[in-house]
Structure 1
């Protein structure tokens, strides 16, 4: 499998994204963390999340599903702990979407927040946002079409 990763800041002042794209043991691991703008240290939160994800996957032995769950829990814990320990990081947060694939292309996807995963060749949205807009869709207040233009 060949892959590459790139992150563009777009029109924003700084880039609060961090990513992981590498083979770890017999798995391919991909992740994007998007630090929350308007919060302190979003770029630090996203880096911490990706570093913890990678380190946990390197150490953890188990199924890809268990591995990804444990890695996300560890990433969340470390972002939280550092937001409590350092005054300049108070309230920092990040979204995270991650995927672990085996050498046959079988995999597991997980997300936290509104970062999404798509299976490009099928144009299928494989994750569900954890956001206010998604809650409005889920409760029938707005349609999925209306959600695309919702602030």
Structure 2
């Protein structure tokens, strides 16, 4: 199993408030760990929120003695959420928060956690969005008021309904999938708000190296305006030469 990660400021924002982490080696009791977080908040608070959340999440996972990947991530996130809420009481960090999508892979399963609108996709012959956005526009889609093509252009597309901190609900979703050869893509909305799923699929499933796939995805988002920070982690599931495309 191999992974690559990249994070780019984009073409509009003055600061990169995203944070990524990827390890193909064990982290605590987990066989591996992959994370993308997208911070929010005035001044530098958003960047602090995502960086703090990811670093503490990883530290806590290294400390937790448990064999259940979902329980490990759940316990770590609960502690991170509490610590972020305490930080939010300080004036310079008031209102800050972050999304997070995280995944770990065992011999048989893929375990996923998400909160906010950072996503995880699985790609083999097709591209499947595993996570569900915690966002205002996702609620509009569920209500039948807009379709998914309209999400990326909606004026309230950046309004999220769950996050770590930010004074809103901090309950994550968890998913367990059977492991099979293909690719995982964890990404911030700086990618998905700029690049349609069909194009993401095309770039992810081409026959280039992982580093080139990541670079092409970032470049495409920037070609379309790069209005937000663009961060992603790609995980190739299987040994070299065993990835199905």
RCO greater where, 1 or 2, for CA within 8 Å and sep 6 or more? 2
Distance 2:144 2:137 in 1: 11
Match of 2:20 in 1: 19
Query: Whose helix proportion is higher, 1 or 2?
Result: 1
Question: Does residue 106 in structure 1 map to residue 109 in structure 2?
Answer: yes
Any idea what SS the aligned residue of 1:57 has? helix
Give the equivalent residue in structure 2 for 1:116.
119
TM-score by length of 1: 0.90
What does 1:24-103 correspond to in 2, within 5 Å?
A: 24-25=27-28, 26-36=30-40, 38=42, 41-62=45-66, 63-84=68-89, 86-102=90-106
The structure with more radius of gyration = 2
Alignment RMSD (CA, Å): 1.7
User: Partners of 1:148 and 1:89 in 2: how far apart?
Assistant: 29
TM-score by length of 2: 0.57
Q: Deviation digits for residues 55-114 of structure 1, max 9, x if unmatched?
A: 121111220010111122222222111111x22111111111111112x26221111111
In the alignment, which residue of structure 2 is the partner of 1:5? 5
Q: Deviations over 1:12-68 (max 9, x none)?
A: 111001111113145110001100255760000001110121012111122001011
- Give the distance between the partners of 1:17 and 1:145, measured in 2 at CA: 25
How many residue pairs align between the two structures?
Answer: 149
Using the alignment, how far apart are the partners of 2:141 and 2:44 within structure 1? 29
Counterpart Cα distance in 1 of 2:123 and 2:85? 33
Alpha carbons of structure 1 residues 141 and 40: separation in structure 2 relative to 1, 3 Å: farther
**Structure 1 residue runs of 4+, over 3 Å off?**
37-40
Q: Distance in 2 between matches of 1:39 and 1:72?
A: 24
Residue 146 of structure 1 and its aligned partner are, at CA, apart by 2.3
